[in-house]
């Protein structure tokens, strides 16, 4: 405990210098400065300039990193580009550049602070005893004086350029952390343009295009990728480049393409993007659009052809009696538990199994859950066959696909 007098009048306090108040503050707080040594006791010490330059270099790098991060985040092309598409390389660098710039901004700011404290701020060892209770007037005044003293001894007041850069670096690094959180406060229900991946809201998928009178085939994924093109007529054996022209990643299906007791994953294939069989054009390139359909988070549908005798036992859900075509049933592949792909179909029992947490759904009973944590049936896509004999969507899903969310009613 300090033996110092505590009851100072405002006049006595006003008459003290900042140094005296600071010293009084340490004594009143029971703080003992055991050791203190200036780093640069001699004016114009070259070591002081070197230390200052080192801190300045880290701050400049931090500012460059923070500006780079903000620039990349705001202006770099970030939308997905498929293999071989224009701008694919620029897109590929988006995430790595964010990481490098963010690390530079925050890492160099940290290094600048550590270097400043280790090389410029006076070395000091202080010891303080703990005490309880709120601070009185004297303590508040003296702590202010101590802070003033810290500012003075830090010499930042004299080093205007360093202080300015430290402030700028701190603000920009803070922005680099805060700005990406902007994505979390966007309105998730604000619809964008309806396309092959829906309109950006959870109610929609590529199949929602059907409600805009777009003819949608059930497109089977062939897994086809870019083909190597041969050289010109003078160099017929030379391989010049990879091309996706003429490749149909998604192709139309007829009922006879699927055996009884089997399952195929299909995606929405708009009429204008068909490039197979009698409508194949070797120069046309629809690959990117087909990949957009495959990547649509709510697009994957399981087309199941039940064995005919099993189809006789099917229990239809009310309001969905005409959603199937003969023995063909189409269910969303997105598990209603937490959205894994329900990839397994067991023909013997007609059960659909989700490998994530073992939910099982009955293909003979409108995709109703029979086991596991999923509580809702798999949404069923209404299907039919068009005049040419291809399987097409008859309408959109009548309920949201995938896991539950706050706004859905059932
Ligand atoms: S995501 Fe399918 S059971 Fe959990």
Looking up tokens 């990481």 gives: 99
- What pLDDT, in 10s, does the model give residues 155-204? 888 888 899 999 999 999 898 888 888 777 777 678 899 999 999 888 89
Element (H, E) at 17: none
Atom number of ligand 1 nearest to Cα 374: 3
Query: Which range has the top average pLDDT, 15-29, 39-53, 248-262?
Result: 248-262
Beta bridge partners of 383: 393
For residue 368, what pLDDT is reported? 95
Whether residue 230 sits in one domain with residue 82:
no
* 82 vs 380: CA distance, rounded Å: 30
For residue 176, what pLDDT is reported? 86
Whether residue 102 sits in one domain with residue 173:
yes
For the domain that residue 270 is a member of, what is the CATH number?
Answer: 2.102.10.10
**Residue 341 CB less than 6 A away from ligand 1:** no
Domain boundary among 131, 153, 184: 184
Mutating to test ligand 1, I would choose from 332, 338, 369, 376 the residue with most ligand atoms within 8 A of its C-beta, which is: 338
Give a yes or no: residue 201 inside a domain: no
Query: How many domains in the chain?
Result: 2
Whether residue 232 sits in one domain with residue 354:
yes
Whether residue 162 sits in one domain with residue 22:
yes
For residue 41, what pLDDT is reported? 86
Paired tokens of 167:
């402030």
CB 189 within 8 A of CB 407: yes
Judged against a pLDDT cut of 90, whether residue 229 lies above it is answered with no
Whether residue 231 sits in one domain with residue 174:
no
Mean pLDDT of 78-82: 79
* 220 vs 325: CA distance, rounded Å: 17
Which domain covers residue 56, as residue numbers?
A: 10-184
Atom number of ligand 1 nearest to Cα 342: 2
Atom number of ligand 1 nearest to Cα 403: 1
Whether residue 239 sits in one domain with residue 362:
yes
Give a yes or no: residue 143 inside a domain: yes
Give a yes or no: residue 15 inside a domain: yes
> What's the CA-to-centroid distance between 295 and ligand 1, angstroms?
20
Give a yes or no: residue 191 inside a domain: no
Range with the lowest mean pLDDT among 8-12, 156-160, 234-238? 234-238
Give a yes or no: residue 356 inside a domain: yes
Atom number of ligand 1 nearest to Cα 372: 3
- What pLDDT, in 10s, does the model give residues 60-79? 999 999 999 999 999 999 88
Mutating to test ligand 1, I would choose from 343, 356, 367, 401 the residue with most ligand atoms within 8 A of its C-beta, which is: 356
Domain boundary among 151, 184, 217: 184
Judged against a pLDDT cut of 50, whether residue 224 lies above it is answered with yes
Judged against a pLDDT cut of 80, whether residue 404 lies above it is answered with yes
Paired tokens of 16:
């003290």
> What's the CA-to-centroid distance between 378 and ligand 1, angstroms?
12
> What's the CA-to-centroid distance between 264 and ligand 1, angstroms?
20
**Residue 357 CB less than 6 A away from ligand 1:** yes
Give a yes or no: residue 234 inside a domain: yes
Beta bridge partners of 303: 264, 330
**Residue 337 CB less than 6 A away from ligand 1:** yes
Give a yes or no: residue 335 inside a domain: yes
Element (H, E) at 181: none
Beta bridge partners of 345: 352
Domain boundary among 127, 153, 184: 184
CB 289 within 8 A of CB 186: no
For residue 152, what pLDDT is reported? 86
Looking up tokens 């090389």 gives: 119
Whether residue 179 sits in one domain with residue 214:
no
For residue 1, what pLDDT is reported? 44
**Residue 338 CB less than 6 A away from ligand 1:** yes
Whether residue 78 sits in one domain with residue 45:
yes
Distance of CA 185 to the CA centre of its chain: 13
> What's the CA-to-centroid distance between 258 and ligand 1, angstroms?
26
Judged against a pLDDT cut of 90, whether residue 220 lies above it is answered with yes
Closest Cα to atom 4 of ligand 1: 357
Q: Which residue has the higher pLDDT, 33 or 279?
A: 279
CA-nearest of 176, 200, 197, 165 to 106 is: 176
**Residue 165 CB less than 6 A away from ligand 1:** no
Whether residue 393 sits in one domain with residue 270:
yes
For the whole model, what pTM was predicted? 0.59
Atom number of ligand 1 nearest to Cα 358: 3
Q: What are the backbone angles phi and psi of residue 104, rounded to the nearest 5°? A: -60, -45
Give a yes or no: residue 5 inside a domain: no
- With H, G, I as helix, E, B as strand and everything else as coil, classify residue 179: helix
Torsion sign, CA atoms 279, 285, 289, 295? positive
**Residue 374 CB less than 6 A away from ligand 1:** yes
Whether residue 226 sits in one domain with residue 162:
no
Whether residue 271 sits in one domain with residue 165:
no
CA-nearest of 323, 321, 333 to 297 is: 333
For residue 230, what pLDDT is reported? 67
Judged against a pLDDT cut of 80, whether residue 139 lies above it is answered with yes
Whether residue 272 sits in one domain with residue 179:
no
């Amino acid at each position: 405990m300090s033996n110092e007098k505590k009851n100072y009048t405002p006049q006595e306090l006003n008459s003290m210098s900042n140094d005296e108040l600071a010293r009084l503050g340490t004594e009143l707080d029971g703080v003992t400065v055991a050791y203190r040594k200036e780093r640069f006791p001699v004016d114009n010490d070259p070591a002081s300039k070197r230390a200052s330059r080192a801190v300045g270099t880290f701050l400049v790098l931090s500012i460059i990193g923070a500006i780079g991060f903000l620039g990349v985040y705001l202006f770099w092309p970030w939308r997905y580009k498929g293999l071989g598409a224009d701008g694919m390389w620029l897109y590929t660098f988006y995430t790595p550049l964010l990481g490098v710039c963010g690390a530079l901004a925050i890492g160099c700011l940290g290094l600048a602070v550590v270097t400043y404290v280790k090389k410029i701020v006076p070395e000091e060892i202080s010891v303080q005893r703990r005490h309880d209770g709120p601070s009185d007037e004297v303590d508040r005044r003296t702590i202010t004086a101590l802070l003033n003293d810290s500012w003075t001894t830090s010499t930042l007041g004299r080093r205007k350029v360093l202080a300015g850069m430290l402030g700028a670096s701190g603000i920009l690094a803070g922005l680099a952390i805060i700005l990406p959180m902007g994505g979390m406060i966007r309105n998730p229900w604000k619809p964008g343009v309806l396309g092959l991946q829906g309109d950006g809201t959870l109610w929609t998928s590529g199949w929602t295009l059907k409600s805009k009178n777009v003819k949608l085939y059930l497109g089977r994924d062939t897994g086809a990728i870019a083909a190597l093109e041969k050289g010109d007529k003078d160099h017929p054996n030379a391989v010049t480049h990879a091309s996706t022209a003429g490749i149909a990643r998604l192709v139309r299906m007829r009922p006879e393409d699927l055996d009884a007791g089997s399952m195929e994953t299909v995606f929405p294939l708009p009429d204008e993007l068909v490039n197979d069989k009698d409508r194949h054009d070797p120069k046309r390139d629809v690959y990117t659009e087909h990949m957009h359909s495959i990547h649509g988070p709510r697009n994957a549908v399981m087309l199941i052809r039940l064995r005919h005798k099993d189809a006789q036992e099917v229990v239809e859900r009310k309001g969905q009696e005409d959603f199937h075509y003969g023995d063909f049933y189409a269910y969303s592949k997105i598990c209603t538990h937490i959205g894994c792909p329900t990839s397994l179909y067991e023909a013997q029992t007609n059960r659909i199994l989700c490998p994530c947490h073992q939910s099982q759904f009955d293909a003979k009973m409108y995709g109703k859950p029979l086991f596991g944590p999923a509580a809702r049936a798999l949404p069923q896509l209404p299907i039919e066959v068009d005049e040419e004999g291809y399987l097409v969507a008859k309408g959109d899903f009548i309920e949201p696909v995938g896991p539950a969310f706050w706004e859905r009613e059932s």
